[in-house]
Structure 1
């Protein structure tokens, strides 16, 4: 793992200072990271797509497997418009767009979550698996069914949080502008 953190925050992202961020992490435009959220990029960089919400006590981890070492090419790419609710822990191998990880769920490192999925409150997914798109995981036995409707984006919630969080929490300043980062060849 690199010796120091490399946190990139794009313009229009709201990242609370009280969040716990370790490793090489990029927050795209529109992301909202609540206080006490944790993101650990132990195995390689994590790139969080636009308009994702990480609520309190959420943990997103890209952990090292036994015998492996940090690799800059081992990227955990998280899609856009995902919601990580209070207390969930997500270590998934890949995460697509418009997923909801409900409160206190656990998604292990062998799970691939494509797009439009909902992992219900308290669900524990430890076994390696690839969910089908628009899958809803629910109940004590982690039953799965196909969702009938597409997941909607959380635009109203994001707009509200972007206005309210700065009134009550210190924020990390945006420090990366992709327009300025492009080099002239």
Structure 2
């Protein structure tokens, strides 16, 4: 994948180049990990991805709206997940093959369970868990933990096995809140 002027990759982010599609006006935050075979497509409006996110294989993040899609910090997009959500807060987990529509917004600490399809026209409050074949909801008492150890491990090991796109922008301060 060539160097695209509208794709900005933050300092210490690991973005695999092989079999990864990143198109349009996309900004990827510091220390975010993007696995191979990921698709991040800003079709009509920009996508801003915060810091310390983990985006796993075969995940798709697509903005078909003209509004800016904003993804916070410390989120996990597991293998095969799909999101058109225009606003995702911090510490959320979108599990294996889960799908989010553009009308569903996540605050903080939500978990969208494996294979759940969430196309509700609403904002999910903090710590909502969507689970099971019927996509039921409940509230969990604590937000999911940050995957900092996994991010550190992947940032060390992935460059040994994958061609990596070089960071091309740096902020004075990371976008992440200090925790």
Same fold (TM over 0.5): yes
| 1:11 counterpart residue number | 11
Q: CA deviation at 1:130?
A: 1.4
Matched, 1:111 2:104: yes
Give the alignment's TM-score, normalised by structure 1: 0.87
Alpha-carbon separation, structure 1, partners of 2:164 and 2:106: 30
Q: Distance in 2 between matches of 1:177 and 1:96?
A: 22
Aligned to 2:164: 171
- How far did 1:132 drift? 1.4
Aligned residues, how many? 168
TM-superposition CA deviations, 1:26-64 (whole Å, max 9, x none): 111110000001101112111100000000000001114
Q: How does 1:1-185 map to 2 (within 5 A)?
A: 6-18=6-18, 19-64=20-65, 71=66, 74-179=67-172
Where 1:157 maps in the other structure, the secondary structure is helix
Distance 1:158 1:54 in 2: 10
Secondary structure, aligned partner of 2:142: coil
Q: TM-score, normalised by structure 2?
A: 0.90
User: What is the rounded CA distance, in whole Å, between the counterparts of 2:117 and 2:150 in structure 1?
Assistant: 26
Measured in 1, the distance between the counterparts of 2:54 and 2:75 equals 6
Are the equivalent residues in 2 in contact too, given 1:5–1:22 (CA < 8 A)?
no
Q: Please give the root-mean-square deviation of Cα atoms over the aligned residues, in Å.
A: 1.2
Runs of 4+ in 1 over 6 A off after TM superposition: none
Tell me if the contact between 1:102 and 1:122 (Cα under 8 Å) persists in the aligned partners. Answer: yes
- Contact kept, 8 Å, 1:120 with 1:138, in 2: the verdict is yes
3-state secondary structure, aligned to 1:77 = strand
